[in-house]
Structure 1
């Protein structure tokens, strides 16, 4: 799947993903799994988020054929210059 197509999948599901407790952001990234050769959706989380159905406020392994990877992180903080 092309980069721009992944962006469309993100737009489609963004509000539902961000509504999951612990999710702080998401973006397009490159798959890190062995033998992976494409783009994925990276979901940033401040706490453990279970895998499963998006309707149950869980993160699926993929959305519309795009892999979903979870990255644990601290809260994002904006700094003033």
Structure 2
């Protein structure tokens, strides 16, 4: 994932055969409104990361069986250490 992140930061798009494409999408400059303060603010044009799955990946997912009732196990959060007084 580090390679994908570093490449996209540099403005490159990534294609993984059989999986999909990671692309930088350009968002245009726009005016947004803060309705609580009744003010306008300008959001400059910027890029956001986006993922587009390949046709083979989508076909495999659509053709797979859905497992009902099973949930992936949750990762356990590390326990916080108590401060010594």
Q: TM-score, normalised by structure 2?
A: 0.24
Which structure's relative contact order is higher, taking Cα pairs within 8 Å and 6+ residues apart? 1
